Every structure is written in structure tokens, then in C-alpha cells.
Chain A
């Protein structure tokens, strides 16, 4: 919302400085977004006269002008085709910054001729797109005077942001009222002209379906004005329209725009001679065509409110006027519309047709119902004043809704809400100045809310009025520390796991990424069965579904960084993956990725490459970190289809909970992403890791054995299909008291032991808690281990 200080002061009687006004606007919630002092933009431009001009000796299209700038005559080289001797022009002396491109004018030689300054077009001043000629000032412009004085532009333009609730401040008058209530001067009330006429309004207006009237247009007011002469607006009106960055068009159009920005009253003027028969307010028909004033054709739908005549739609009510009944300079009879449209209907229609108009903006926020008459009459008198004509009686079709209502405002509750007690008399004064009538009864203020404040529904809204006008600075700063705690559990277990997982994985050398919660359906085919994950209105095709896995986005990060020259990838993300588009159908995953160079070749080491065991180590270490001392983890071969079938496994907890997977990604996926190195990942379902229910903070009892431990190594030749974990488990079970640990330290395959065989070597640690083991005991356990493994795996111990 834009206005100028001088426009504002037409309604606000104040001695306050511009700065005070600007600060106060922000303080009361009308946030100042831009302040533009015309002096800063145009202050340097001077009215000058071209006293001589001739062709540039070395350029066909340039003219060399002698320009009288008031106190001297300077040479200016000019390329405009319309420059002629005697013309009054706008001159930018050296040092001027040109608004449109921020270029600073310097004295310069142009093709050998010195030019001191520039003659400007409207385009260069940033006031229009016209750049095919310089500005031709009127004959009576005073040479040497400032352009802004000549144009009555010496003013400060303010642009404020209006929050959606403050429809009352979408006009200058409303802003003035708010400032007056905040103590910046007094409101000068607008005197609405009293139109006395006997002329009949010849155009009949009907609702097609009166029952539904309120869903479309509760009230449609109009006056017919006969024998007007549309013309250019008078200077004062043109200046106003210009001052807020609009273009004056014609008196009839400018007057409606003026009422819109001045009084927040959307109006429309029809060329009455283009209306066939009566006006019908109705729902659009399906696929009905409508040509708007913006010269675009719209295809309408049922439910949209149109103002039509007996043949065609004339306008989209409250949104956009139509070309068919538009006014021109030849218009002689008009119908002036001042209506109230249904906010929901306006919002729906505007959204469906993608029309953002000033009228829509206001109607969907709620227009003051009482401005229907006042705004119409102000406009009608202005039209008569400027364009002449005879005004008819007002015709209101429908009923102006009564929106005024009362609220009982409890002052004690108000103080308890705001944290500060404000004097009741002061409150009443502020509210009264807003137009809210009050009646005090003990602690209660009975408040009558005027028609223009449709945002005030209850007590809390009045509290906001009181505190914003008093100033948010008056609210004290109170400590929120209290003696008793409200919350026992600050973080839930799942959140704690998140935090631990991130720090732990990073400490192991992985970099944390945060990628979108959406991804591309193309990249995700590998991970989806038939989940419904589509986003209806994605930002792009690459981000069109909720991610069914964290892997595709991580792979894209690998690809991107590999293009930047990285060869080594240790990445992870902790975040949600989606199983469907239902709220809550998401799981929290820790996904780690390793690929590429693990250790570069150096003078010490050969190059090594990350493989699936690195991902496994990350995952199992993380599980160990989150679930210390849990021995109920099992690793089972095989994982979902996005993994390499022979190089992946599923991790089970307590035999029945799937904690997650690890493995090398399927080569098909690598090919799809055009990634050359092998990539191994793990996916851990963090929410499956539940904290142990514990009775005590004590750890389990533990006795440290003081007796010597012995290691014994065994090697077995077994079928290739036998997994190492089978041997380990058999050795552990051979004597559960004495066998403390079993580790595989070598695996060997080769022709010497047969093509379908492998050799697995295990190290077994034996220890008793109460004695040193004798050689005989060691032998006995050893035999048990060998027997058990040979029997159960058909393997042969190697000597």
C-alpha cells in the first residue's frame, strides 16, 4: 500500500515530522517497507530550454544542443529524435544519478564533442516506459526551476506492508485514522457529499437467484450518470495517481482508482450505452468466455460471480471489469457500481483464474459495508465535478449487511494477558479514536465495533489494539524461570538416538548431509513397490515425490561432489523416509554411505577402496553405541532389492525386529546414476532401537577374571557356501563357560584346497573365572570345537 505524506496529511492534522510518522507506522503494525523521498530521486533534475541545436559533426543521429539551464548555457549532446529549438526539457547536470539505471552523469566527450549533462526521457526518470523521445515540458515551465517543484512531486512516498487482517488500512483515510488513534495528530473526517436528485436510474438490476445472493454479492449499489464528458483528469488528480506509481488514464478511471486508494472503496464504471437491457448478477456458466479489461480472455466456471447484461458477462464481480462495457473518451452515459461481494467467492475465483487485482485484494479481506453508499456518493460527485452530467438516484439491489457488533472487554483479563496495566481512560480514548464506541461499567468496557473493523471479533483483538497503539515497548520483560519444573523428560528416546547417531557417525569420519524430503520419481523406482508418494504440485519434476529412501538424494550428492573433484565419500543423513502420503507414515532412518577411495596411495600405504565391510562396521558400531552390550544382534544374508544380492545383509534384533540393512548398492543403480565406483550403504531404523526398561541405574554384575586367558587357532576347510558366522557360533557353543571370544582372522580360497572350498581360520579365547586352565582342559575344549565344527559343517580341520 503506497501513499504520500501530503496525501496522508489531507486527513491527518499533525505537526509530527516525517520521521515520527514513519516510525509510528511500524510501531502500530503498519510496517514501513519503503520510503522514497522524491528529492532523493529527482531533486537534481532542472527545467531547461534548448536554445540552439545542430547536427553532430561526426554522427548522423546525434544533435548538439545549447541548453539554457537557468544560470548558464551548456552544451549537451542528445540522441532523441524529438529535440528541437525552443523546447522545454528536463536536464540532468553532471553528477546526477539516473534513477532507471543508477548511472552517474559525467562531463564526457561524445564523438569528439563535449557534453555537460543529459536531456532525459520519462524512461530514464523511471516514471514510464517511454524512451523514444525526451520529455517535452509545457511552455510555461520555468527555466532553471527544479523538476520536482514544476511537477508538484516534492513529496515523500511511503510503502507499507498490510497484514491480512488490516483491511481497514488499505486506504489512506484508514491509515490516517490509525495514526490519529496512536497519538499522531487528529483525524480530519471526510465529509460525504449529500446528493439530492430526482433522476431515475434507468438500468434495472436483478439477482438471477435471489436465494443465493449472499454467496455472490450481498448488495449491489449503483447510480446512473447521464451526459458525462470523459476527459483528462485535472492536475491535482493526475499528481495523486502519479505519486503512488500509477499512470493517469482518464478522469472516469482515475476517479475510481482514487476512491480505491484514498477511501478503500472498489468501484466500477460501466459505459451504460454498451449494456443490453438489464443487469443480471449471476453465477457464470460452465466454460462461459469473458474478455477482461486486461485484454485477456478467461474461461469461467459455475460458481464464479459475474455481472452480466442480457447477452454477456460485463465483469467478474469485485475482481475485474470487462472490455465489452469499458469506458472510453467517447463515453457519455455511465453506470457507477459500488457493491459488496462475498469474500470466499472472490478468493476462489481469483485463485482459479490467477487474477490478482486491487479489488480482489480488498474484497477477499473484507470491505467496509458502509463505504458502499459513502464511496459511491463521493465518486459520483467527483465525476459530476470533473466530467459534468446528471446523477440519478441510488439503487441498492440486495441488502447492506449489518456487521457492527458489541464486545464486552474485561480490563483485568486484558492486563493479565498483556503483562502491563494500562489506564482505563487511556484505553477508552484510543479505542474511541479508532471509531470504537465504549461504555465503561466497573471492570468491563462495552465496545461497539464499527463496520470497517471486520478483524475485531473478541477481547483478544481489542487487547491487540490497545497494546499496539500504546506501543509494544511498554510490555515489561518478565523472567520465565519458575521454581518447579514442568517437564520430566526433555527429549524422547527417538530424538536422543538421532542426536547420538549424528555425532557418532560424524566422529567416525562421515559428513552429515541434509537433503530434501522429496526426490525424483525416476531416481526412486528402485526403492518403491506401489507406495503412493506423489506431490500434487511439485516444485519441479526432479522433486515430485516424498522420498521412499534416503539413498537417491545421497547418491545425487555423491554425483555432484564427484563432479567437483571428490573421489572419497563418507556421508550420512539422519531423516525421515516415507511409506505413503498419509500423515505419520514415515520412519526415522540413519543412512550412511561409503564409496570411492578409503586411503590414498602414499609412501606408507597402497590405495584402498571402501567396501561393504566399511558400511557394516559403521552400522554395527552405531548399533553398539546406541544399544551397548546387546548381544542379540544377528546378521542374515540378503536385503531389499536395491542392494547387491550377494553383498548385502539384514540386521535383526532379538530375532524378530528388523533394525536395518547394509550392503553394496545394486550395480543397476550405479549405472543409472552413472557412478563408477562401488557404493556401500547402511540403513538403520532408529525408532526400532528402544531403550532398555531398567529397574536400576546399576549395570549388570561383572567379575573380572584374574586367571590367565589362552588363545588357540583353528583352521577348517569347508564348502564355500558355509558362512563364517556358523563356525563362530559353533565354537562359542562348544563350551559356553570357557570360550570367551571367537574371531575369524583369515579366509582363504584357492585351487590348492579345491574350487568349491574355502579355508576359515578362527582364534578362540579360553578363560575360566576361577582357575588357570590346565593343558588337558584346553585340549578337551579344543577337541569339542573341532568335533562340533567338523560334524555340523562337514568341514575338515586343517593341521
Chain B
């Protein structure tokens, strides 16, 4: 077997000239190709005696391994270089942008969903009624006779259709849903009825349409203490405060007796209203024990059953909770306003997920 040192020397010098994938392949062919120098030497091994062959083969394999090692490390290096070149050539300016495309949920919807989340946790169901109502359901059944002064304070919208000789109305409150629900079912009742209501009034602090949520609880034991507990729980949960400062004041509604209005304490910090503390009062809802005449009107025996009802303005809740100062903006449908005061679609209020964030 001839001396390998010239081949090794040649290999070493060739290694130095390898500078790209092409020259690496050329080198591989020169030494390890079918007619490569090492390949040929390998073929000659057969001519040697067994002892010589073993020693020579070991020598040759060492040389071959060193070339293979070189080739694989070099080719990895070249691939890495190629990749870095590609990467640097593919650089993008990611400050250029895309726009968020989700829409917004109107604050009134959001607040109604919050109210529903709170009350369903307290075992209330949600009831509905039509926007055009009979005079009877809207007034008479609610103990508001034709000449009751409270009726004139309602500024009712009338339509031309009639029921039992009385023109039908756009419901002035959600209370007729009480009547419909009680006529359809049997006590006990625990329901809320959110919805649109209408009054013929249009100025800085009134819109001809607005939203209310009605609450009704009828069973054999619910009393004014429960009414207080119910509303305290609601206001605490809704405003996400500790037990809020509240004030029950005697008031008058034809369909409840005793009746109360509820004020909630607040203070101002800069432009922001902090609900539940402070020395100022804001009227927030009306409530009371359902009047026995109302129960009689829906064929429920007032000597056996009693309970309470309440009505809250949704816009008022939304204004206080989210710092919306102008009632009229709810119905202005300005997309800039909606972007600011609206809610992202998947912020669905729930007890587990929280009401707001």
C-alpha cells in the first residue's frame, strides 16, 4: 500500500479552497466519488495480503471519515448561511398594520345582559311582553284608573287600534309584563322583564323611547325586608362595590303599597362618579309591595299571596356605571361613540366571568 500522506496533504489543501456548496461537492467527488481518489484506493485493498489489508483499510477509513465529517459540517454551515440570507431578505415592517375588525355591543344590551346575569343567579326568569299594549294591561290592571293623576304624568303614546273600547298604547313602563306573566302562570313568581318603554317626552333628559327592567316576586312570604335585600344584592353586584350606601324613601305608585323610591349614595371625583359612597343621593329606582288590587286583577288571592315589584331605568344604570353623561347619545348611533362606550362582543357578563372588566 502506497503512502497516504500526499493524498492527505491534498485533502487538507482542498479543504481550504472549499467556499461554497459547489466546491464542497467537487471535493467530495474528487475523493469519495465513484472514481474518487479514496474510492480507488479502497478498491485496491483487495490486492493486499490480509495483514496488510487490515492496517491499510483502517488508515483509509480514517481519512474517509475525516472527509465525511468535514463535508457534513460544511454543508450544515452553508445551509445555515443560506437560511440567514433568506431570513434577512424576508424582513417585513410589522409596524404597518391591520385593523381590528370586531364590532361593538351597544351599552344598553350590555347592561341588560348584566342585569340578567345578576337576577338569574337569584333564581329569577326573564319574561317578555309586546311594545304595543292594551290600556288595561298598561294602566287599569295596575290599579291606575282612567282618572288617576298618575296616569296623566305618563305622557302616553296612543295608536289607533282599540281593545275593549280603549285605545291601545305604547307601553309606558315594563309593568304590564307583570300582568301578562301572572295571568299566564301560577304563583310563586320570580321574574324580571327588561324591555323598551315609551313616553311622549323629548328633551335633554328624556327620550321618547327608553329601557326599563321590571322585577316581580310573588309568593306567600316575601316582605319589604326581602325587597330591600333583593335590591341591595342587585345594586351591590351591579355596581361591583361593597354593600352600597342606599336610602329607601316613601313614594307612591298606584300598583304598589307601600311604595318606595331608592336613592344610591355617590360622590364625584373629578369627572367620575363613585357609586355607593359619599354624601350625595341619586334616585335610581322605584319599588314596593304589589298592591292587593293588582293581585285581584290577575285572579291571585291577596290574602294568601304577597310580594314585591320594582322598576329600574336601564339607561340610568348604564350612565352611572359607565360614566355616560348624556342620555341622548344612546340613540344618536354615532359610530365613534359606540367604539368608545360599546363593548367587545365576547365580554359576555356572567357571574363566573365577571360583569365587567
Residues on A facing B (Cβ under 8 Å): 26-29, 31, 163-166, 343-344, 347-348, 351, 364-365, 416-420, 458, 460-461, 463-464, 467-468, 472-473, 475-482, 485-487, 489-492, 494-495, 499, 502-518, 532-540, 543, 546, 557, 560-561, 564, 566, 570, 572, 575-576, 578, 580-586, 603
Contact = CB atoms under 8 A, between A and B. Distances in A.
B336 A564 contact: yes
B170 A535 contact: yes
Nearest to B344: A506
Nearest to A576: B131
A476 B158 CA distance: 42
Given A475-B228, A535-B170, A536-B167, 13 more contacts: A31-B249, A460-B291, A467-B224, A478-B228, A486-B188, A512-B338, A517-B196, A532-B160, A535-B159, A536-B158, A539-B157, A584-B130, A603-B96
Contacts of B338: 511-513
A703 B291 CA distance: 61
A165 B103 contact: no
A364 B145 CA distance: 13
Nearest to A510: B103
Contacts of A503: 105, 345-346, 348
B103 A512 contact: yes
Interface stretch (B108-116, B267-275, B319-327): B108-116
Nearest to B116: A491
A472 B225 CA distance: 10
Interface stretch (B25-33, B40-48, B71-79, B253-261): B253-261
Contact of A581 (B104, B160, B222, B232): B160
Contacts of A165: 252
Nearest to A570: B103
Contacts of B313: none
B257 A460 contact: yes
Given A31-B249, A460-B289, A511-B342, A416 B223 contact: yes
Contacts of B134: 583
A163 B105 contact: no
Nearest to A600: B99
B102 A586 contact: no
11 contacts: A347-B147, A364-B149, A419-B228, A477-B232, A486-B125, A502-B105, A503-B105, A511-B335, A514-B109, A535-B170, A586-B132
A81 B334 CA distance: 54
Contact of A535 (B157, B201, B291, B339): B157
B307 to A, nearest CB: 10
B124 interface: yes
Contacts of A603: 96
Interface of B: 96, 101-106, 108-109, 113, 116, 120, 122-126, 128, 130-134, 137, 146-150, 152-153, 157-161, 163, 167-168, 170, 188-191, 196, 198, 200-202, 208-209, 217, 221-226, 228-230, 232-233, 248-252, 257-261, 289, 291-292, 306, 330-336, 338-339, 342, 344-346, 348
B147 A348 contact: yes
B interface, over-half SS: mixed
A560 B334 CA distance: 8
A461 B259 CA distance: 10
Nearest to A166: B252
A487 B259 contact: no
A534 B159 contact: yes
B123 A477 contact: no
Given A502-B109, A557-B333, A464 B259 contact: yes
A463 B257 contact: yes
Nearest to B157: A535
Given A503-B346, A534-B159, A419 B224 contact: yes
A31 B157 CA distance: 28
A259 B250 CA distance: 27
Contact of B225 (A475, A578, A581): A475
Contacts of A557: 333
Given A364-B147, A416-B221, A472 B250 contact: yes
Nearest to A513: B333
B35 to A, nearest CB: 45
Contact of A561 (B148, B160, B306, B333): B333
B250 A536 contact: no
Contact of B223 (A343, A348, A419, A473): A419
B103 A478 contact: no
Nearest to A455: B252
B123 A487 contact: yes
B101 to A, nearest CB: 4
Contacts of A583: 130, 132-134, 137, 161, 163, 168
Nearest to A351: B152
A503 B334 CA distance: 19
Contacts of B291: 460
Candidate in B124, B150, B153, B289 with the most chain A CB atoms within 10 angstroms: B289
Given A490-B120, A511-B104, A514-B106, A475 B224 contact: yes
Contacts of B106: 512-514
Contact of A29 (B132, B200, B251): B251
A785 B338 CA distance: 51
For the complex of A and B, list the 8 residue pairs with the smallest distance between their C-beta atoms, beginning with the closest.
Answer: A419-B225, A29-B250, A163-B252, A464-B258, A506-B345, A419-B223, A478-B225, A468-B250
Nearest to A459: B292
Contact of A512 (B105, B116, B128, B209): B105
A506 B224 contact: no
Contact of B103 (A166, A508, A535): A508
Contacts of B198: 517
Nearest to B190: A486
A480 B226 contact: yes
A485 B123 contact: yes
A475 B105 contact: no
A468 B223 contact: no
A537 B200 contact: yes
Given A487-B124, A503-B345, A564-B336, A476 B228 contact: yes
A347 B149 CA distance: 8
Nearest to A29: B250
Contacts of A487: 123-125, 190-191
B251 A512 contact: no
A27 B249 contact: yes
B333 A560 contact: yes
Contacts of A532: 160-161
A591 to B, nearest CB: 14
Candidate in A31, A475, A560 with the most chain B CB atoms within 10 angstroms: A475
A506 B152 contact: no
A486 B185 CA distance: 12
Contacts of A509: 101-103
Contacts of B330: 514
Contact of B226 (A344, A347, A419): A419
B292 A458 contact: yes
Contacts of A27: 249-250
A480 B133 contact: no
Nearest to B338: A511
Contacts of A343: 147
A585 B163 CA distance: 14
A420 B102 CA distance: 52
A514 B106 CA distance: 7
A467 B260 CA distance: 11
A561 B336 CA distance: 9
B275 to A, nearest CB: 18
B149 to A, nearest CB: 4
A344 B145 CA distance: 10
B248 A475 contact: yes
A578 B159 CA distance: 12
Contacts of B128: 492, 494-495
A165 B116 CA distance: 33
A634 B198 CA distance: 39
Contacts of B225: 418-420, 475-478
A476 B230 CA distance: 12
Contacts of A365: 149
A514 B157 contact: no
